[in-house]
Amino acid sequence: MLPKKSGLEVLQHIRANHSELLVLVLSAKRSVAEKVEGFKLGADDYLEKPFSFSELLMRVYALLRRSKNGNTTTLTHLNFQDLSLDLLSRKVSRQGQIIDLQTKEFNLLEYFMRNPERLLSKTMILENVYGYNFDTQTNVVDVLVCRLRNKIDKDFEAKLIHTIRGLGYVLRKDS
């Protein structure tokens, strides 16, 4: 019931171009046939309007737990490869070894782990870790990434934090 395309057409487009995306359909349509059609076209879950925010939140968390990209996300933990971050205790470990991080280092690692395999520019890091913009000609991001890399990668064979020269940084498995 969208203006120019139906939600099912949007879903087909998403599946044709972004098969890895998780899709939760929120719809006023309640019939079993409509739900089945949504699932056939690639919906990962389907929630009828009206819905409670808490149910929506739990369904989103369930989808994230089931994601197929090799990373796991729960309410309190982020994991990538052998790296683990506990959001409640603010503890980080790699291969079971505890890594002490300062607040900005922890925030940067959390941002990386919420965006694995994705190029993060200096501007994106400034906005998401520092919470504001300032001159991107400064080396504050480079220094922070260097400090984090020394703690996360230095003592381990597989490197996870990579520089993409002139563009930014990415958290990915060593290639």
pLDDT per residue over 105-157, tens digit each? 999 999 999 899 999 999 889 888 887 766 656 789 999 999 999 999 998 99
**Which residue segments constitute the domains of the chain, with CATH numbers given?**
7-65 (3.40.50.2300), 72-171 (1.10.10.10)
Residues 83, 160 contacting (CB under 8 angstroms): yes
**Per-residue pLDDT for 70 more than 50?**
no
Q: 24-27 and 45-48: which strand pairing?
A: parallel
On the question of pLDDT at 18 being above 80, the answer is no
pLDDT > 70 in the chain, percent? 89
pLDDT score for 106: 95
Whether the bond between 116 and the residue before it is cis, its omega within 30 degrees of 0, is no
Placement of tokens 């958290």 in the chain: 171
Residue with tokens 């819905």: 51
User: Other CB atoms closer than 10 Å to residue 156's CB: what's the count?
Assistant: 15
Q: What mean pLDDT do residues 50-64 have?
A: 83
- The per-residue pLDDT for 73 is 47
Assigned token pair, 108: 């940067």
User: β-strand 72-73 against 24-27: which pairing, if any?
Assistant: unpaired
3-state secondary structure the chain: CCCCCCHHHHHHHHHHHCCCCCCEEEECCCCHHHHHHHHHCCCCEEEECCCCHHHHHHHHHHHHHCCCCCCEECCCEEEECCEEEECCCCEEEECCEEECCCHHHHHHHHHHHHCCCCCECHHHHHHHHHCCCCCCCCCHHHHHHHHHHHHHCCCCCCCCEEEECCCEEEECCCC
10 or 93, which is more confident: 93
Q: What is the pTM of this model?
A: 0.59
